[in-house]
Amino acid sequence: MLQIALCDDNIDDLSNMVQLIDLYRVSRNFSCEYAAFQNGLELIAILEKGKRFDIYCLDIMMPGFTGMDAAKEIRGYDKTAPVLFFTSSTEFAFESYSVKAINYILKPVTKEKFFFTFDELLEQIKTEKGEDAITVKSNEGIQKIRISNLVLAEVNGRKVLYHLRSGKIIECTEPFSSVCDTLLKYGCFIKPHRSFLINMQYVDTIENHQISLQDHSSIPIAQGRAKEMKQHYLNYQMREE
């Protein structure tokens, strides 16, 4: 289920966005959850607590802390999630490329504009995200986890906990050894400690005794493995470039 953030200081425009998403969900049988914010600082505050969204819909012309400011902060936490600008001005169209915004829609945002934009966006997400995923059996039933959304996996007693970018945790009962065998094949995971597998996409820094993630959490590194982890991460970064 996709997580969408909506941010606009104008309560009427924000309400319009909520209504359009609700219409889109019904019309397209689209499953999503959304959160609405009346300023960018509220949105960034929840990102600082570890929450992540799959899509960000931002007004640009907000007083003080603008939508462009918010987008720059978002990119510090998430370099790939789509950012959509909904705005009454063309002034920032060129600057929107600096934060890798995928679309720039002028207000008023009509149903036709919104549906066309989201149809294209979801098709793009499906194409980009469709190739790498694992299927797990959790307490909630069979679930599909996209590799790009999986921050880390950890073992806790007899439970394996999958931590997702959105902040959700999926709990399963399965051997951690088989989880390691599956995830390490993707080339983006490292195992710094016997209890953790980390997706290097979400690594912030690697120190001698711990790995800091982009959500500000820390994962321990087993004694004597720091050099190996740093080399794995360097190799990963070189492949990504």
Domains 2-129 and 133-240 share a fold: no
Q: Dihedral angle at the C-alpha atoms of 226, 232, 233, 239, nearest 10 degrees?
A: 170
CB atoms within 10 A of CB 9: 18
Taking alpha carbons only, the member of 95, 103, 100 closest to residue 66 is: 95
pTM assigned to the model:
0.56
> For 24-75, how does the pLDDT look when each residue is reduced to its tens digit (9 = 90+)?
998 888 889 999 999 999 999 999 998 999 999 999 999 999 999 999 999 9
78-135 pLDDT per residue, tens: 888 899 998 887 776 667 667 877 788 889 999 999 999 998 888 777 766 555 888 8
Q: Locate the domains of the chain by residue range.
A: 2-129, 133-240
CATH architecture of 133-240: Beta Barrel (2.40)
The domain covering 2-129 belongs, at the CATH homologous superfamily level, to Response regulator (3.40.50.2300)
Unique residue bearing structure tokens 């987008």: 71
